[in-house]
Amino acid sequence: MKNDIEPLEPNLWFNRIEKLLDRSSSFESEDPGALVRQAMHVAQLTPRPLRDTVRFSSEEVTIEEMLECGAFLSAMAALLSPPVTYTLTRRGVGKYVAAVSCPDSRCRGQGESNSAEKALLTGWCQFLLDLKRQSQFAFNQSLHISQSAQHQQLTEH
């Protein structure tokens, strides 16, 4: 992913991940293309400290082409690039389970759905939220520092 886009602040970005997870989980009939497209846009806004982990190797136009032809699982899989890995298992009729992880960390995510792409999306979101939990102190510190810097800029003459 070529990412010249200004990143979101980590807490705001994780808030977007939580909303995406809620949307994916709450609306089982939600269009998978719209969910994967939203995941791609959120991934493009990844905070700088996470860009070595959250990235995708395919160009946005390639992923859009996959979405346009209905290859939702391929598009979602294109958003997961090393070091992030995943497994996708089919359990019974219409039941998929995805496990997303990163060998460089203890973070894991699991997703279940009636569609493979939503299971993978849910697993990815859960993985990212586990990443947040594992490094909560680091993100709180960066937020505190950025707020302090903003305050100093506003009060100086």
pLDDT at 78 over 80: yes
pLDDT at 87 over 90: yes
Q: What number of other Cβ atoms are within 10 A of residue 8's Cβ? A: 16
Tokens at 64, concatenated: 């859009």
Q: Phi and psi for 86 in degrees, rounded to 5?
A: -150, 160
Tokens at 14, concatenated: 């994780």
Q: From CA 125, how far away is CA 24, in angstroms rounded?
A: 10
pLDDT score at 116: 94
Q: From CA 47, how far away is CA 45, in angstroms rounded?
A: 6
Confidence of residue 79 (pLDDT cuts 50, 70, 90): very high
Count Cα neighbours of 128 within 13 Å in the Cβ-side half-sphere.
Answer: 30
Burial call 39-66: b when 16+ CB within 10 Å, e when fewer: bbebbbbbbeebeebbbbebebeebeeb
Mean pLDDT along residues 2-24: 88
Query: 2, exposed or middle or buried, with CB in 10 Å at 0-12, 13-18, 19+?
Result: exposed
Task: Kindly compute the dihedral angle of the four CA atoms of residues 52, 135, 11, 54, in this order, to the nearest 10 degrees.
Answer: 20
What predicted TM-score, i.e. pTM, was given to this entire model? Answer: 0.82
Backbone φ/ψ region at 6: left (φ over 0), alpha (ψ -120 to 50), beta: beta
Mean pLDDT along residues 30-52: 92
